[in-house]
Every structure is written in C-alpha cells, then in structure tokens.
Homo-oligomer: A and B are copies of this chain.
Amino acid sequence: MEFELARALPILTRTPRVIGELLLESPEEWTAARNDPDTWSAYDVVGHLIHGERTDWMPRARRILEKGRSVPFDTFDRTAQFVESRGKSLADLLAEFAELRATNLRDLEALRLSESDMRREGMHPELGVVTMGQLLATWVAHDLNHIGQVVEVMARQYREAVGPWRAYLDILG
C-alpha cells in the first residue's frame, strides 16, 4: 500500500487509546513483566513511544522541510526511557504519550503537506537518504510494531500456564 496521509492519520490518532485500553487497568504483573532481563516491558515501551514523540517524528519532519538532505537527523536514543521514565507511574506515562501525540498530530496537520512534500528528502544518520513519506509511514508501522511487542511480552507470561496449548500459539515462542 502506498503511503497516504489520510489513511495514516486514523492509526496514529488512535494508538494512545489502543495502548491505554490494553494497559491502563491491567495488573502490574502484566505491565512490568519482561521476557528476560534484556527485553522491554509494556511500561518500557510506553516510555520509548514518548521519547519518539519528543525527539523523532515531528523534529525529523521539520528537519526535512527546513534542511532537506543537508543536515542529517539527530540520532535517536533507543534506551532513553530507562532514565526518563524514572519515578513515573504507567498512568502518568500513558497520559503524557496521549498528550504529546495529540499535539504532534495537530502540528503535522498544520504543515499541510502536499503529495509532492511526501517526496522531499532528508538524511538519516545510518540509513542515508529517506523521504518524508517514508518517515511518516514508519511512524505508523512503528506504532503497530510496539503494540505487537506489548501483546507479545504480556502473552509470554502465560507460556507455561497454557500447558499443551502452547503448541498452537505462535506468540508464545
């Protein structure tokens, strides 16, 4: 499917609500659980999404509009949440994510990007030349990827509890 802003916005708009429904009233055994010490919990994922709202998507979109390929994007810190989320409850993080996302989508709409803007190019520090459309498509796929990560880490808490049904449930690994 080609990237088209009108099709992407419904997904981006609702991700905070999807994640909120999944997590907000869930016992901490689900939301703080990890598969092993190196993987992320649902709580960690929400912190990561917040960091993306602050430093990744809209700042990079603006960089493309202002500097094109001449100034690469700032590097994204994939583990910033381990410092930034400290002392915050999951409910705090979910509210912060929802608010940042809403602001970012208002700012995105205010840019009134045209179809030709979607072909404007920027410079990713590792991946090289990328387009505005690719950046925004990645925002959507990244949301869906992390929803998938959250349900996977939650499901795996029942890897033993399901007994022989494990054979039918790919998500349990």
Contact = CB atoms under 8 A, between A and B. Distances in A.
Interface string A131-173: 1011101101110110110011011011001111101011110
Contact of A25 (B10, B131, B144, B171): B10
A171 B151 contact: no
Nearest to A127: B164
A109 interface: no
B147 A162 contact: no
Given A140-B155, A142-B169, A145-B172, 19 more contacts: A1-B29, A1-B33, A1-B157, A2-B161, A3-B158, A14-B25, A18-B21, A21-B21, A124-B164, A127-B164, A127-B165, A130-B165, A131-B163, A137-B162, A141-B158, A141-B161, A144-B151, A144-B171, A151-B151
19 contacts: A1-B157, A1-B158, A7-B29, A10-B25, A14-B22, A17-B21, A21-B21, A127-B167, A134-B163, A134-B165, A137-B161, A138-B158, A141-B171, A144-B155, A144-B171, A145-B151, A145-B171, A147-B147, A147-B151
